[in-house]
Amino acid sequence: MYRHPAMKQLKDQQTRYAPKDRRLEQINRAEALLSEIDEGKRYPYEYVCFRITGFRPDGWPALVLDGMDVRHDLTLFVEDLSATARQAIEQISEPVLTVDEVSRRFNVSSRTVARWRRRGLVARRFVIDGRTKVGFLESSLQRFVTAHRVQVERGSRFRQLTEAEREEIIRRARRMALVRPGQAGLVEIARRIARKMSRSTETVRSTLKTYDRENPDRAIFPNSVPPLDDEAKAQIYRRSRMGVSAEVLARQYGRTRSSIYRVLNEMRAKRILSNKLEFIDHESFHDAANAGAITGPMPEPADGKAPRRPKAPKGLPPYLASLYEVPLLDREQEMHLFRKMNYLKYRAHEMRQDLDPTKARTADLDEIERLQEEALSVKNQIIRANLRLVVSIAKRHVGPSNNFFELVSDGNMSLIRAVEKFDFSRGNKFSTYASWAIMKNFARTIPEENYRRDRFVTGHEEMFEAAADNRTDEHEYESALKRMQEAVKGMLGRLDDRERKIIISRFGLGGVSEQTLEQLGRELGITKERVRQIESRAQDKLRRIASEEKLDLPML
The β-bridge partners of 97 are 136
Mean pLDDT for 267-281 is 91
3-class DSSP state for residue 126? strand
pLDDT of residue 354: 87
pLDDT of residue 303: 65
> Between 130 and 183, whose confidence is greater?
130
Whether 33 and 142 map to the same domain: the answer is yes
The reply to whether 555 falls in a domain is: no
The crossing angle, in degrees rounded to 10, of helices 404-421 and 430-454 is 140
How many other C-beta atoms can be found within 10 angstroms of the C-beta atom of residue 471? 6
Q: Which of 157, 177, 196 is the last residue of a domain?
A: 157
The tally of CA atoms less than 13 A away on the side-chain side of residue 284 is 15
pTM (global) more than 0.75: no
- Report whether 499 contacts 537 (CB < 8 A): yes
pLDDT band at 513 (very low <50, low <70, confident <90, very high): confident
Burial of 171 per CB tally in 10 Å (0-12, 13-18, 19+): exposed
Whether 95 and 236 map to the same domain: the answer is no
The reply to whether 260 falls in a domain is: yes
Whether 496 and 541 map to the same domain: the answer is yes
Choose from 310-324, 369-383, 443-457 the range with maximum mean pLDDT: 369-383
Average model confidence (pLDDT) for the chain? Answer: 81
pLDDT digits (tens, 9 = 90+) for 290-299: 888 898 888 8
The reply to whether 485 falls in a domain is: yes
The reply to whether 306 falls in a domain is: no
- Report whether 30 contacts 74 (CB < 8 A): yes
What gap in Å lies between CA 367 and CA 378, rounded to an integer? Answer: 17
pLDDT of residue 59: 74
Whether 420 and 445 map to the same domain: the answer is yes
What gap in Å lies between CA 272 and CA 311, rounded to an integer? Answer: 42
- Report whether 341 contacts 382 (CB < 8 A): yes
- Report whether 371 contacts 351 (CB < 8 A): yes
Whether 270 and 334 map to the same domain: the answer is no
- Report whether 7 contacts 37 (CB < 8 A): no
CATH of the domain at 540: 1.10.10.10
Question: Domain count of the chain?
Answer: 5
pLDDT digits (tens, 9 = 90+) for 112-121: 888 888 888 9
Cα 556 to Cα 507, 530, 533: the distances in Å are 11, 21, 16
Mean pLDDT for 211-218 is 82
Mean pLDDT for 427-431 is 85
Whether 407 and 514 map to the same domain: the answer is no
Return the DSSP state at 306.
Answer: P
Whether 287 and 375 map to the same domain: the answer is yes
The reply to whether 122 falls in a domain is: yes
pLDDT of residue 473: 43
Whether 320 and 417 map to the same domain: the answer is yes
Whether 500 and 364 map to the same domain: the answer is no
Q: Sort residue 254 into left (φ over 0), alpha (ψ -120 to 50) or beta.
A: left
Share of the chain above pLDDT 90, in %: 21
The reply to whether 472 falls in a domain is: no
Domain range enclosing 199:
163-218
Whether 440 and 499 map to the same domain: the answer is no
**Which residue type does 500 have?**
R
pLDDT band at 466 (very low <50, low <70, confident <90, very high): very low
pLDDT of residue 291: 86
In this predicted structure, the answer to whether residue 287 has a pLDDT above a threshold of 90 is: no
pLDDT band at 494 (very low <50, low <70, confident <90, very high): confident
In this predicted structure, the answer to whether residue 6 has a pLDDT above a threshold of 70 is: yes
3-class DSSP state for residue 98? strand
Q: Which of 157, 188, 203 is the last residue of a domain?
A: 157
Whether 202 and 248 map to the same domain: the answer is no
Q: What φ, ψ does residue 96 adopt, rounded to 5°?
A: -120, 130
pLDDT digits (tens, 9 = 90+) for 38-60: 888 999 998 999 999 988 887 77
CA proximity to 186, closest of 199, 164, 170: 170
How many other C-beta atoms can be found within 10 angstroms of the C-beta atom of residue 269? 21
Whether 74 and 26 map to the same domain: the answer is yes
Mean pLDDT for 374-389 is 91
Strand 96-98, strand 124-128: pairing: unpaired
What gap in Å lies between CA 302 and CA 332, rounded to an integer? Answer: 8
- Report whether 518 contacts 535 (CB < 8 A): no
What gap in Å lies between CA 426 and CA 434, rounded to an integer? Answer: 14
The reply to whether 31 falls in a domain is: yes
The reply to whether 466 falls in a domain is: no
pLDDT of residue 471: 39
CATH of the domain at 365: 1.20.120.1810
pLDDT of residue 50: 92
Mean pLDDT for 7-26 is 89
| Residues near 232 by beta carbon (within 8 Å), at least 6 away in sequence | 253
